[in-house]
Amino acid sequence: MSSLDAHSGNTYFRLIDRMHKALSDAGRLPDSVGLTAVSKNQPWAAITPVLAAGHRRFGENRVQEAMERWGKQRANYPGLELRLIGPLQSNKAADAVAFFDVIETIDREKIARAIADEIQRQGKALSTYVQVNIGEEEQKSGVWPKDADAFLKTVVGYGLAVDGLMCIPPVDGPRGPYFALLKRIAERNGITHLSMGMSDDFETAIAFGSNEIRVGSALFGAR
C-alpha cells in the first residue's frame, strides 16, 4: 500500500470516529448522518482506500468529470451512490439524470424543469435537493432563503419530488444560525433531508440536525 493509500484509509476511519462523537454529543443515533466523500479532483489512488473501507457514497462537482472518473469503475462497486454537489447547466441535465443517483444543487426554475422532464423521459428514480444560498452571498449559487418556500412550491408543480435542502454557509462567523435557518425552511415545507456541513463545520451541522455531510479535505487532504 502506498503512503497516499494509507493516509486516505486511516483518515477515513478517524473521520468516522469524529462523526460518531459529534452524534453522541448531540444525543443522536450513530447511523443518523450520511457521509458524502467529496471525490472531485482527487486522484484514483486517494479514492480506492476509501472504497476498500466499504464506503460507497461520493460527491462530484462536474458531470463530465464524474462520468470520466466513475464510468468504467461503477460496475466494480455494487451499491455505489454518486451525488452531484456542484452547479448544473441545463444542457447537462440529461447526462446528470442518467448518471447520478442524487442531484443536490437545483437552484433555478430552468434547471428544475429540465431535470423533471428528464426524470420522466428516462423513467429514472432520482433524489433531488434544492440548494439554498443561506447566507445570501452574490458569488454563490442557490435560492435565497426568502424565496425558498415559493421556489419549492413551483418546482413541485413541475412534478419534481424534492427530498432535501442543501447549503454552504459563509466562511466567516458562526455557522449554527445558518444551519438552524435551513432546518426551519425544511420543516415548514415537510422536507426531512438536510445536506449541510463540510470539513470545517460538520460537527456544528450535526448538532443542528444535519443528516448529510459533505467532506473532502478532512478526508483526502487539501488539493
Average pLDDT, the chain: 93
Whether the per-residue pLDDT at 75 is higher than 50: the answer is yes
pLDDT tier at 57, thresholds 50, 70, 90: very high
pLDDT tier at 222, thresholds 50, 70, 90: confident
- Per-residue pLDDT, averaged over 179-191, amounts to 98
Q: What pLDDT score was predicted for residue 2?
A: 44
- Residue (of 160, 161, 156, 131) closest to 144 by Cα position: 131
- Per-residue pLDDT, averaged over 12-16, amounts to 93
- Per-residue pLDDT, averaged over 147-174, amounts to 96
Whether the per-residue pLDDT at 5 is higher than 90: the answer is no
The sign of the CA dihedral 73, 221, 52, 96 is negative
Whether the per-residue pLDDT at 3 is higher than 60: the answer is no
Query: Domain locations in the chain?
Result: 3-220
- Residue (of 144, 195, 93) closest to 152 by Cα position: 144
CATH architecture of the region 3-220: Alpha-Beta Barrel (3.20)
Q: Which residue has the higher pLDDT, 41 or 24?
A: 24
Whether the per-residue pLDDT at 1 is higher than 50: the answer is no
Q: What pLDDT score was predicted for residue 221?
A: 80
